[in-house]
A and B are shown apart, each in its own frame.
Chain A
Amino acid sequence: MDILTQYAYIISAALFIYGLKQLSSPATARRGNAISSLGMLVAIVATLLDQDIVDFQWIAIGIVVGGIIGGTAARMVKMTKMPEMVALFNGFGGMASLLVGWAAFAFRPDAGTFTLITIVLSILIGGVTFTGSMIAYGKLSERISSAALLFNGQQVVNSLVVLGIVASSVMFCLEPSNSGWLFWVIGLSLLFGVMVVIPIGGADMPVVISLLNSYSGLAACAAGFAVDNNILIVAGALVGASGIILTQVMCKAMNRSLSNVLFSGFGSGKVEATKVEGEIKPITAEDAFYILEAASSVAIVPGYGMAVAQAQHVVKELAELLEKNGAEVNFGIHPVAGRMPGHMNVLLAEADVPYDQLLEMDEINPRMETVDVAIVIGANDVVNPAARENESSPIYGMPVINVDSARTVFVLKRSMASGFAGIENPLFYKDNTRMLFGDAKESISGLVREFS
């Protein structure tokens, strides 16, 4: 590779790093993204100008095809579907690394052991990322059941797959001329990706896509070693670190360890429902309106149900009406609300809710006692007081938004069917809770109509 290409990579690494630094505030984030994309452009152009590149036909076809698909997807995707899109892109990144690892071997079959090991790693991590992401995509888009899938002997099968991966990887490095081992590594890593994601339920997807995000970076990193390219290593490591941090944030927000999320089959319906004393008190839109009209402080706590009902725009409308009426309106966002980190924030930003009105759990909880009305929209576990009060609850210890401390709580819910994992929510039975049954969008539109 030319020395000039190498210098260009230094510039592009600096731009990636500076771009990510700008992501520390919503005010500068957009510019940061543009700077990062400039870094990518520099890296790509420098590579294309390298003397080793003699044939541009297939590169051009690849870039045009990929550019059209990526550009179209980015324009068309609905904001509620971002988790699916990120899952798919994680998968493409993994597959690209698998192919690069394989191609690196096809290009230089006489590579040394160190390179062979990195080739195996890029195929392995890339393969797991690809099929794991496809399963995650299937679960998120409900193309396959989002429930955790457990079967007898799952551990045995998984252990055999891991053993097979280790054995075929070692054999490939010892005996690279026998291409059979390479195909075993590819096949088993693809199988392993499926096996690791099927036992994980839909509501744990924030952890899974964060982790796969990290893997897609690590796969790029390994591919960088395989083709001796340092920009792949730098960029891959940045992505890997990002995914790992998000995974930690998600696990902490659920008070669960990563291994518990990955292996316990949480939410497969094994949990026994605990009985809750009390009475459900439904409320009509009209009565809810009278209470809201008198409120001077309102906290809105959205969950996945808001995304499903596409209710973010009417929620914004309601918030505006409440503010016009003199109330202070804030949004309380739990880190695992929705199906990916920051899911709610993007939906509300789409509906033009200013980001300084979105409060994190630790900011809104101390204020909750002064809140007149807390409106829970399609959230369940993240507002469940059992996490604080009931030691036998499966989610005991998970930090939650304490909506029950507000003077009145409205819970917007489709029906009384229990949420993910069948955990009873005592919030619904509290004295200060009123249930507003129906589709979240319909219910809020009803409230908006009452105001006008």
Chain B
Amino acid sequence: MISVEVFIIPDEVFLTFILMLSIFLGFELINKVPATLHTPLMSGANAISGVTVVGAISLAGSGQQDLANWLGSAAVALATINVVGGYLVTDRMLAMFKKKGS
């Protein structure tokens, strides 16, 4: 009888792996953004970094009226400012970029 040893990748290794791939991907993607779009890129990056809201939601909604809950709620508000404000202002800017004759 053959026994198969199941090896489970620990969480931190898995997450670090994702981090490594994302950094390389990020460099490849952003290098292709033309200089003329660097301001919208930054405000768009503001919006994406508001993804912290996802982490904050799970802490704010735990149902316990404790410190974690209060801190999480404050983080939800701050990160939402970034998400909503960042995407809207980026859209406002990008709407203004026009090609000649259009």
Please list the residues of chain A having a beta carbon within 8 angstroms of any beta carbon in chain B: 1, 16-17, 19-21, 23-27, 29-30, 33-34, 36-37, 40, 43-44, 47-48, 50, 52-56, 58-59, 61-63, 65-67, 69-71, 73-75, 77, 79, 82, 85-86, 89-90, 92-93, 95-97, 99-100, 102-104, 106-107, 114, 209-210, 213, 216-217, 219-221, 223-246, 249, 333, 335, 340-343, 345-346, 349-350, 352, 354-358, 360
Instruction: Tell me the smallest distance from the CB of A338 to a CB of chain B, in Å.
Output: 9
Q: Given the complex, which residues of B lie within 8 Å of A62, measured CB to CB?
A: 56, 60, 73-77, 80
Q: Is the CB of A40 within 8 A of B37?
A: no
Q: Is the CB of B48 within 8 A of A74?
A: no
A62-B56, A99-B71 given; A243·B45 CB < 8 A:
yes
Q: How far is the CA of A36 from the CA of B86 in the complex (A)?
A: 11
Please list the residues of chain B having a beta carbon within 8 angstroms of any beta carbon in chain A: 11-12, 15, 18-19, 22-23, 25-27, 29-63, 66-102
Q: Given the complex, which residues of B lie within 8 Å of A249, measured CB to CB?
A: 35, 38
Chain A residue, CB-CB nearest to B61? A53
Instruction: Tell me the smallest distance from the CB of A99 to a CB of chain B, in Å.
Output: 4
Chain A residue, CB-CB nearest to B72? A103
Would you mind naming 9 contact pairs between A and B with Cβ atoms under 8 Å apart?
Answer: A33-B94, A55-B62, A74-B85, A96-B50, A96-B52, A107-B62, A209-B42, A340-B42, A349-B96
Q: Given the complex, which residues of B lie within 8 Å of A100, measured CB to CB?
A: 52, 55-56, 59, 71-72, 75
Q: Is the CB of A36 within 8 A of B48?
A: yes
Q: How far is the CA of A338 from the CA of B90 in the complex (A)?
A: 18
- Choose from B43, B61, B92 the contact partner of A55 (Cβ within 8 Å): B61
Q: Is the CB of A30 within 8 A of B80?
A: no
Q: How far is the CA of A16 from the CA of B12 in the complex (A)?
A: 23
Main secondary structure of the interface of B (DSSP, over half): helix
The 7 lowest CB-CB distance pairs between A and B, nearest first, are A66-B80, A241-B26, A70-B85, A62-B76, A342-B38, A70-B84, A237-B22
Q: Is the CB of A342 within 8 A of B36?
A: yes
Q: Is the CB of B61 within 8 A of A233?
A: no
Q: How far is the CA of A246 from the CA of B40 in the complex (A)?
A: 12
- Choose from A53, A66, A216 the contact partner of B46 (Cβ within 8 Å): A216
Q: Given the complex, which residues of A lie within 8 Å of B85, measured CB to CB?
A: 69-71, 73-74, 85, 89
Q: Given the complex, which residues of A lie within 8 Å of B44, measured CB to CB?
A: 19-20, 23, 33, 36
Q: Is the CB of A65 within 8 A of B72?
A: no
Q: Is the CB of B92 within 8 A of A74?
A: yes
Q: Is the CB of B51 within 8 A of A40?
A: yes
A26-B97, A62-B77, A335-B35 given; A47·B23 CB < 8 A:
no
Q: Is the CB of A96 within 8 A of B78?
A: yes
A16-B48, A55-B61, A238-B25 given; A65·B77 CB < 8 A:
yes
Q: Is the CB of B42 within 8 A of A103?
A: no
Instruction: Tell me the smallest distance from the CB of B24 to a CB of chain A, in Å.
Output: 8
A107-B59, A223-B52 given; A92·B82 CB < 8 A:
yes
Residue in A55, A73, A79, A238 whose Cβ sees the most chain B Cβ within 10 Å: A238
A217-B49, A355-B99 given; A240·B23 CB < 8 A:
yes
